[in-house]
Structure 1
Amino acid sequence: MSVIPYQVTEEDKRRFQEDGYWISPKLLDDDTIARLREAHERIWNSKYDGFGLPMHHFTMPANPHALRKFDNGWWINDEVHSVVTDRNLGHMAAELLNEDSIRLWHDQVIYKPGTNGQETSAGNVGWHQDYGYWRVSSTTNMVTVWIALQDTDLNNGGMMTILGSHKWGAVEGSDTFFEQDMGKLRAKFATRDWVEEPCILKAGQASFHHALTFHGSGTNYSSDPRLSVVAHLMPGDTYFREVRQRHDNLKLLGARPQPGMRFDREEYFPTLYTR
């Protein structure tokens, strides 16, 4: 399995720099999409490849409409590994971020259950900045690659971005992924122009959004789950900076990480691309 190569254009870069996100052409063929959908089922049923263990133990939520999220699926699933460490993803990220090398920060495997038309906030992803969780990293110049495994729009809980919000800088208290009251979060963060734009994707397309871009998602009204695989990517020279916040990736630097240590251990932060 591999990501279909694509040469990022100057117009693509302009859109990313202006809007804070960019939607790619189709990057996965139909066979790869099918295999990643099967990988979802294996992960949620604790069927792992190899002999390693996941970073976190996953427990099925009691609410059937609640979001399921698994970090570092690449550790225990070969199909996820193949995609989130693919050189072509790294090349596109390097072009958009104007960086010479790209590493994997971590991945996510996300499952949003369908409600078959039922109104519920249980599967909402609150308005947030990814960097709100990543402040231990030395740069905000990071990107999330959100890959759709089915056609995705607002009807099945597709992501929405706030246009240009990456220009606001790192906003205090933006680590609100798990807060589900979208209106309350909008009132909290909409101190500037707040323009919501849906990310409408065909299966196999990806949204590349900047680590400072506010985004979130609402209810999946369809009868089928919304499945995605997500690669969070960083420049190759990113290092640990001292802040109040902590992140589980610090554990991967050793028992007593020190500020200035680079997130460059290949077994945990593999290099996807170097110019």
Structure 2
Amino acid sequence: MKETVGHITQEDKEFYKENGYWVSPVLFGEDEIAELRRAHDRIWSFDYDGDGYPLEEWRPSNNPKMLRKIDNSWWINDAVRKTVTNPVLGRIAAGLMDSSGARLWYDQVIYKPGTGTGEKDALSPGNVGWHQDYIYWQCTDTPNLVTAWIALQDTDLTNGCMSVVPGSHKWGLLGGSDAFFNRDLEAVKHRIAQESGREWKEVPVTLKAGQASFHHALTIHGSGQNHSADPRLSVVAHLMPDGMAYKKHGHHNVDNIRLLGPRPKEGQRYDNHYWPLLYAEHSHQD
């Protein structure tokens, strides 16, 4: 990782505060990208580091023609672990969250299949429906989390880059925003726009290989069809402010709550080894 670009400016913070997302310079070099692409191949082949298993797996028939996602692969792949726990990511996230430190909430490795055709498919199997991350994370006492989405190839609309709705992190939590697996992006867009009562404006987040986009947990985002012949690969780090605690709520990420122990209590902090500390101001990490 290119640590010299891990600092963000006040202007960067203001852009993020206003728009709910921010794009970094290139953070990862060619060798690191190649290592993470190999990690993808190993993960989808069940070739794990160590004897454990990831937290949760979602990969129907392990079909390379379908969207594939795996959570907490840092448990079972050393390259992913090194990436999503890097203090430079933590320092950027802490700055954007206006926090003194940042921990890993969890990671995702995502494979979006390529169709290899110019034909538009409104229900492409690689579509990721418009959603807000926080609708899945209501077991936390704050929505002030940030996601770092790391591109492992140049990524734009031709291969299904992520798009965001700028400023939507100010709209609050919307009931219809739990549509990650809904491939009908137009229908989801219509539903969310109607519920929010706001003007819908989406912006594609184009990235060079090794760049990362950061977005707020309430920012509406999704991605469409990958028209290229190659899969679109990414590694995603969901990051939380140090000191975040459990909040009892009916809709939550059950798997993450489970890691607090058999009987979590309101106010219990997410601060054990399942949520490693990436960065803290007092430690003077670079």
TM-score bracket relative to the smaller structure? over 0.9
**C-alpha displacement at 1:244, in angstroms?**
0.8
Give the corresponding residue for 2:88. 88
**TM-score, length basis structure 2:** 0.92
Amino acid at match of 2:111: Y
**TM-score, length basis structure 1:** 0.96
Structure 2 stretches of 5 or more lacking a match?
282-286
Give the corresponding residue for 1:255. 262
Q: How big is the alpha-carbon RMSD for the aligned residues of Structure 1 and Structure 2?
A: 1.3
Separation in 2, partners of 1:64, 1:38: 15
Separation in 2, partners of 1:53, 1:90: 25
**C-alpha displacement at 1:66, in angstroms?**
1.8
- Partners of 1:61 and 1:68 within 8 A in 2: no
Question: Please, which moves more after superposition, 199-208 or 112-121?
Answer: 112-121
Structure 1 stretches of 5 or more lacking a match?
none
Correspondent of 2:160 among 132, 140, 157? 157
Amino acid at match of 1:147: I
**C-alpha displacement at 1:59, in angstroms?**
4.2
Give the corresponding residue for 1:54. 54
Question: Please, which moves more after superposition, 185-194 or 105-114?
Answer: 185-194
Separation in 2, partners of 1:3, 1:245: 38
Separation in 1, partners of 2:223, 2:246: 30
Question: Please, which moves more after superposition, 84-93 or 51-60?
Answer: 51-60
Amino acid at match of 1:260: G
Distance 1:59 1:166, change over 3 A: closer
Structure 1 residue matching 2:56: 3-state secondary structure? coil
Question: Please, which moves more after superposition, 81-90 or 254-263?
Answer: 254-263
1:212 aligns with 2:218: yes
How does 1:261-272 map onto structure 2 within 5 Å?
261-265=268-272, 267-272=273-278
Amino acid at match of 1:73: S
Correspondent of 1:168 among 146, 168, 171? 171
1:26 aligns with 2:52: no
Separation in 1, partners of 2:105, 2:2: 18
Separation in 2, partners of 1:136, 1:171: 16
Distance 1:8 1:25, change over 3 A: same
Deviations 1:97-124 (A, max 9, x none): 1101111000000000100015432111
Amino acid at match of 1:91: R
Corresponding residue pairs, total: 273
Deviations 1:18-77 (A, max 9, x none): 111000000001000000000000000000011222112454447643210010010000
- Partners of 1:156 and 1:221 within 8 A in 2: yes
How does 1:69-148 map onto structure 2 within 5 Å?
69-117=69-117, 118-120=119-121, 121-148=124-151
**C-alpha displacement at 1:15, in angstroms?**
1.1
**C-alpha displacement at 1:130, in angstroms?**
0.5
Give the corresponding residue for 1:37. 37
- Partners of 2:44 and 2:62 within 8 A in 1: no
Separation in 1, partners of 2:201, 2:152: 26
